[in-house]
Amino acid sequence: MAYQWGMNLSLKKLLKSKGLTLLLPIAVIGCAAPASYNADTGAVEIRAADASLIQQGEAAFAQYKSQTPVSTNAAAQARVNRVATRLRPVINLPGTNWEFVVFEDSAANAFALPGGKVGVNTGLLNVAVTDGQLAAVLAHEMAHVTSNHAAARVKNNETIALGGAILGAVLGGSEAGSQLGSLASKGGEIAFGLTFSRSQELEADRVGTIFMARAGYEPSEAVTLWERMGAQNKSSTPEFLSTHPVNTTRIKALQEFLPVANAQKR
């Protein structure tokens, strides 16, 4: 869900409408980092972010909270807190100050930032109707943090601005995604960059199901979630021009990984 990349005039307007500032142009990147999980054993490698990246994540989250309506629906926030409380003990990421905030936004989206900052839109809670489906969302976002995906992107291309990388997470799943077609002129460079983004998403899906199983949730709820997302969001953007895998790709990958995740049940 999180971590969208690339920059054009439409995205600049979107950032401006949210009161956010991009510090430097974002470069598209290639190359995939080693997987943060073992597909045979289900062992997860926790990759802590450095202090600088955590500080920027916390600053970006504070800025977003000051400029985006935080939901006043106490029941919605309590539901997110309830699920997060079950997930946190199975994730050993020392020094992380996890924070989960529900934002008043009809888009079915969530995002994560370095330092354990997780945002959930009210629109997503209408799709994730069970705690298990919500756990799939939160565990996915937490997996982005534990896999240190923001740092992996920076490491693979030194021209990427950290500020842009972080703000990209906030834009994940927004209307910005539908505008990626205008970036097609960048050809092969974009193809490699967007493929890397999709690989991160699929990795977060898989690691998330492991976290779900360890917390006592059924990993199969992640499949149900994406089936519901697919029924709601009929995107016409070709997968090779998208930073996120299409729902059918995600569902197939999750179904294949379920035996590994189920073996992690405690």
Q: Which residue numbers are catalytic?
A: 141
Taken in order 113, 118, 119, 123, the sign of the CA dihedral is: positive
Question: CA–CA separation, 67 vs 10, rounded Å?
Answer: 20
Nearest Cα to Cα of residue 118 among 106, 130, 126, 109: 109
User: What's the one-letter identity of residue 212?
Assistant: M
3-state SS assignment for residue 1: coil
Contacts of 159 by beta carbon, 8 Å cutoff, 6+ apart = 27
Q: What angle, 0 to 180 degrees and rounded to 10, lies between the N-to-C axes of helices 162-171 and 149-156?
A: 130
